[in-house]
Structure 1
Amino acid sequence: MFNGITLKAFNIFCCCCALFLLSACNTLPKTELVPVHVNQITDAKAWEVRGKILIKTADDKHSTNLYWRHTATSEQLALTTMLGTSVLNLESTPFGAKLTMDGKDYQSKNPEALLLRMTGWSIPVSLLPSWITGQTQQAEHLTRDGQGRPRQLTKIIDGVKWQLTYSRWQTLNGIELPKLLTLSRPNLSLKIQLNQWQALAVQGSK
C-alpha cells in the first residue's frame, strides 16, 4: 500500500504527532487567579501563604522564607533566604514534579520522592496543604484545645510516626488559621510560621 518513501514519511508524521500529544498532556493551561474573600477555610479551593520555615535534621538546620501556592491541580513551594536568594522551588501537577535548585531543574513523577532525593528531607508534601491550614481530618490521633481547634496529632506514614503540634492561632483575612506549627519525625523537624494567607479564585468566577 505504501512505497518506501511514503512509509518513511508516514512514520515521521506519527512520531511528530506523538511528541506533540505528550507535550500537551504534560502542560496544564495557565489560569489567572485573583484574591477573593471566603467565609471558611474549606471554601478556598486555591490559596497562597507566606511565612518562615525552620528545617532541622540530625546534622544541620536551615531557616528560610516560605511561599506556598495551592490550587486544585498544582502546588508551588518556594524557599528563599532572608536576602531573597532562591534555595529551592518545587512545582507539581498530576503529571509530575519539577524541582529547581542551584539553577538546575530535576524532574520526577513524585514530588516527595524528588525532594527526598535532592535534599535528603523526607516530608509528606501532599499532606502539608491541609496541615498548615489546620485541616486535620485524616489524623491517626488528634487532640483539640478548649476552642475545638487542633492541638496535636500523630499519623503513621510509610511506617514512620509523624507528630504535628499547633502552638498558636491567628485570624488572617477573616479566617482562623495556624500561626505557628511544628511537624516532626525522627531526625527531622519543621517549624512553620504563617504570616500571610490569601484565598484565590479564577478571575471572573463567582
Structure 2
Amino acid sequence: GSSVLFLTGCQHFTQPKAAVTHQVQDEKHFNLQGKIGVRTPQQTGSAFFTWIQQQDNFDIELSGILGVGKTQIQGKPGEVTLNSAKTGLITAASPEELLERATGWQAPITHLTSW
C-alpha cells in the first residue's frame, strides 16, 4: 500500500529588530499555521496545525486530526515526543522514528524546516 501526505500552510515572518548580523540566526525561528491532509489505503483525514520553530527546538499542535482531537508534538536534538488522548506519551530519538511508532508511516520529515 501507499500513503500520500499533503501539507499546506502559511508562514509568518517577523522583521528582525537587531543588526543585520543576526538575520542568519533568525532563519530557524518561524511560526506556521495551516492544514495538513493525510490519505492512506485505510483512512483519509485532515487536521489544522500550528508549528513554532526556534533553532533546533519545535512545538507542533495538531487539532482535529483524524477524529483524535488535540495532539502535541515537541522536539529538541535527540528527543521528540508526541502526546495525545488516544496514544498517550510517545518518545523517540528522531521525527521519523516518532512518526513510525505513532502511525506506522515512514516519511523523511527531518528536513521540513528547509522547505
TM-score (norm: length of structure 2): 0.68
Equivalent position of 1:81 in the other structure: 64
Deviation at 1:118, TM superposition (A): 1.1
Residue 58 of structure 1 aligns to a residue whose secondary structure is coil
Higher relative contact order (CA 8 A, sep 6+): 1
Q: How far apart are the structure 2 equivalents of 1:62 and 1:121?
A: 15
* Residue 93 of structure 2 is aligned to residue 115 of structure 1: no
Deviation at 1:124, TM superposition (A): 2.1
Residue 123 of structure 1 aligns to a residue whose secondary structure is coil
* Residue 92 of structure 2 is aligned to residue 127 of structure 1: no
Q: How far apart are the structure 2 equivalents of 1:69 and 1:121?
A: 23
Deviation at 1:122, TM superposition (A): 1.8
Deviation at 1:125, TM superposition (A): 2.2
Deviation at 1:44, TM superposition (A): 2.7
The answer to whether the 8 A contact 1:76-1:91 is kept is: yes
Residue 110 of structure 2 aligns to a residue whose secondary structure is coil
Structure 1 gap segments, 5+ residues each: 1-34, 132-206
Work out which of the two has the higher radius of gyration on C-alpha atoms and give 1 or 2: 1
- RMSD (Å), alpha carbons: 2.7
TM-score (norm: length of structure 1): 0.40
Q: How far apart are the structure 2 equivalents of 1:101 and 1:121?
A: 17
Structure 2 gap segments, 5+ residues each: 1-12, 17-22
Q: How far apart are the structure 1 equivalents of 2:105 and 2:72?
A: 14
* Residue 34 of structure 2 is aligned to residue 51 of structure 1: yes
Equivalent position of 1:183 in the other structure: none
Equivalent position of 2:45 in the other structure: 62
Q: How far apart are the structure 2 equivalents of 1:57 and 1:121?
A: 9
